Amino acid sequence: MTLVPGTVRPRRLRTTPALRRLVSETRLDPADLILPMFVKETLSEPAPLNSMPGVVQHTLDSLLEAANEAVDSGVGGLMLFGIPEHKDNEGSQANDPEGILNRALTLLRDNLGDTTVIMADLCLDEFTSHGHCGVLDSEGGVDNDATLERYAAMAVAQAKAGAHVVGLSGMMDGQVGACREALDLEGFTDVVVMAYSAKYASAFFGPFREAVDSELQGDRKTYQQDPANGREAMRELDLDLAEGADIVMVKPGLPYLDVLAEVACESPVPVWAYQVSGEYAMIEFAAAAGAIERERAIDESLIAFKRAGADAILTYWATEVAQRLNSDTPGGAH
Ligand code: PBG
């Protein structure tokens, strides 16, 4: 049989909204979206962030309110970051049961129970006076193995406070194994370890530094990955899996979709991606300047994560998008 020119017409499947909907390869569901939230000890009112229009640092009260709204919208879960009043060299508030992050976890778990998945960032940078993700050695470098002991204590404190999932974002070698062992020893065998397996030393974390009042001078290049390296991400993945990671993550998102796609092909456990603060800011500021259509750009960026293989996405737009997905009518313009 010869192919008559013109008989193969991919456009045929794009003719109506209903047909496009039917042949769509990838869908977004509210349950795919995880909302990162910031809670700050010293506040009496929520504080808007200049570098992330629409995102605030919460008080405990406003955190609970926003968490309820997110859960009502059907998001898959919540990821908490805490900003303590007192930071020190060891980040001691991180594993203090009275530390702001642990108090916030308890508040949410007491109020929300198991109706959603409550997660906490497990890293020291929000808690240290020097802003690094670990404790420092005598030369001022980040001491990997001393940091593991801090992470292990933090994992147990977060589990006690009510976290269903601990999110290991510090990029220390051995962090998954150290936290898993500490959790198991304390009987928290059901607490899930989510590992930021491939996390890059990225400029796209810029606005996050304001969000957590970061004290960091310098950079994180001795522990986070070089943006030039893709193969190295697979090594990090293998190690995290061997140490018992239940879920793995790639971060940032859009600039690393190639890494995400490869991790998604190889990983036997769920793969998440983090649409980070700088990605959020780029779309918000470009839309505010009239350069792009805000909602279309948000939706397109999120579907790109799914297309690349992400099972879930951390995004500061989680509640908004979940609400919109709920109100979308079948056969509509999407
Ligand atoms: C580390 C952490 C960071 C982010 C999440 N966890 C900052 C960093 O590694 O410098 C960034 C998230 C974002 O930019 O939205 N605790």
pLDDT in tens, 252-263: 999 999 999 999
Could you tell me the two tokens for 95?
């594993």
Instruction: State the pTM of this model.
Output: 0.96
Q: Is 251 a catalytic residue?
A: yes
Q: Where do we find the tokens 């959603």? A: 116
φ, ψ (nearest 5 deg) of residue 50:
-60, -35
pLDDT per position as a tens digit, 269-295: 999 999 999 999 999 999 999 999 999
Domains of the chain plus CATH, in order, are 29-328 (3.20.20.70)
Residues 6+ apart with CB under 8 A from 296: none
Nearest C-alpha to atom 12 of ligand 1 is from which residue?
276
* Residues 110 and 134: beta-carbon distance below 8 Å: no
**Gap between the Cα atoms of 333 and 74, Å rounded:** 22
* CB of 123 closer than 6 angstroms to any ligand 1 atom: yes
Q: Does residue 110 have a pLDDT over 50? A: yes
* Residues 178 and 251: beta-carbon distance below 8 Å: no
pLDDT of residue 329: 63
* Of 208, 191, 217, nearest in space to 114 by CA: 191
pLDDT of residue 5: 75
Between residues 4 and 235, which one has the greater pLDDT?
235
Q: How far is the CA of 204 from the centre of ligand 1 (A)?
A: 9
Q: How far is the CA of 11 from the centre of ligand 1 (A)?
A: 42
The three state secondary structure string of the chain is CCCCCCCCCHHHHHCCHHHHHHCCCCCCCHHHEEEEEEEECCCCCCEECCCCCCCEEECHHHHHHHHHHHHHHCCCEEEEEEECCCCECCCHHHCCCCCHHHHHHHHHHHHHCCCCEEEEEECCCCCECCCCCCCECCCCCECHHHHHHHHHHHHHHHHHHCCCEEEECCCCCCHHHHHHHHHHHCCCCCCEEEEEEEEECCHHHHHHHHHCCCCCCCCCCCCCECCCCCHHHHHHHHHHHHCCCCEEEEECCHHHHHHHHHHHHHCCCCEEEECCHHHHHHHHHHHHCCCCCHHHHHHHHHHHHHHHCCCEEECCCHHHHHHHHHHCCCCCCC
Q: Model confidence at 328, in pLDDT bands (50, 70, 90)?
A: confident
Q: Range with the lowest mean pLDDT among 77-86, 184-193, 218-227, 323-332? A: 323-332
Which atom of ligand 1 sits closest to the CA of residue 171?
A: 9
pLDDT of residue 116: 98
pLDDT per position as a tens digit, 17-61: 999 999 999 999 999 999 999 999 999 999 999 999 999 999 999
Q: What is the largest CA-CA distance in the chain?
A: 76
* CB of 205 closer than 6 angstroms to any ligand 1 atom: yes
Q: Which of 122, 196, 199, 208 maximizes ligand 1 atoms within 8 Å of its Cβ, making it the mutation to test the pocket?
A: 208
* CB of 63 closer than 6 angstroms to any ligand 1 atom: no
